[in-house]
Amino acid sequence: MGVFESMNLEDQEAKEFTEVAEEQVVELPEETPEQRAEHVHTEQLMEEDIKIPKDRVAVLIGSGGVTKALLEKKTECKIQVNSDDGLVEMSSHDALKLFDCKDIVLAIGRGFNPKIALKLLIEENSLDIIRLRDLVGGNQKQLERIRSRVIGREGKVRREIERLTDCDIAVYGKTVSILGDSLKVSICHRAVEMLLTGAMHKTVYTFLEKEEQKERLAKDQVKLSELQAKKEDDN
């Protein structure tokens, strides 16, 4: 079952989210006029549906339906969940909100805690799903082997990649999913792919450290350019 070892852990996950559900889970910056203009509200009700694993339904709904209610509030979408088969139906008059809602539900279905999945409401963030079946087919033994390469002993490898990329990773079933800033998700995807295709962990960490250094240098260069521009304006 990937990161989640049992239904008891999934129930605990839903409980923990429920306890903070009334808090502002994701602090969203106020939308600019340009961003608000992208939201096209129509008279026509748009609908999407997606199936999630049945053992993730409890996490999506939450105790007494509080998690689902919060997702509906945050995305301004109507969500209906069929607990028998995991079918989730969503509807909205706003296409962008509906797209966000579908991505959040998909993220929860692929193993993310709802608090993490809600980060997809931030415009710069995205979800990336690597399907392990594409690498090993239906070979269950191979699947377990490459999945364990990403998780590591007691989750150590996964946590280290998350730290170096500032992304969240969920290893669930036959997928590895990555959530975070779109540019960093791309780097994280490359690192995970390296592990899945046999690269040594040290090689992957070195790659990520170099990427992190490049990012710091790029930020420093931007700051330097801004300081130089300000100095020229002052003169």
Model confidence pLDDT, tens digit, residues 34-51: 655 555 666 789 999 999
pLDDT at 35 (0 to 100) = 56
In a shared domain, residues 61 and 133: no
Residues 138 and 102 in one domain: no
Nearest to 36 by CA among 89, 91, 76, 82: 76
Q: What local confidence, expressed as pLDDT, does residue 27 receive? A: 59
**158-178 b/e (C-beta count within 10 Å ≥ 16 → b):** bebbbebbebbbbbbbbbbbb
Do 65 and 158 belong together in one domain? no
Mean pLDDT over each residue of the chain, to the nearest integer: 86
- What confidence tens digit (pLDDT) does each residue in 83-137 have? 999 999 999 999 999 999 999 999 999 999 999 999 999 999 999 999 999 988 8
If asked whether residues 47 and 112 sit together in one domain, one would say yes
Per-residue pLDDT at 19: 47
Domain count, the chain: 2
Beginning with the edge strand found earlier in the chain, give each strand of the sheet holding 87-94 in spatial order. 41-51, 87-94, 78-82
Report the percentage of the chain scoring pLDDT > 70: 82
Q: What is the tens place of the pLDDT at every residue in 1-12?
A: 333 333 444 555
- Across residues 75-84, what is the average pLDDT? 95
- Pair (119, 144) in one structural domain: no
What is the CATH classification number for the domain harbouring 6? 3.30.1370.10
Most confident of 9-13, 29-33, 214-218: 214-218
User: What digits encode the pLDDT tens for the residues 146-192?
Assistant: 999 999 999 999 999 999 999 999 999 999 999 999 999 999 999 99
Domain of 41 in residue numbering reads as 1-123
Q: Of 106, 123, 140, at which residue does a domain stop?
A: 123
Residues 6+ apart with CB under 8 A from 103: 120, 127
Residues 71 and 135 occupy one common structural domain: no
Rounded-to-integer distance, Cα 110 and Cα 89, Å: 17
On whether both 20 and 129 belong to a single domain, the answer is no
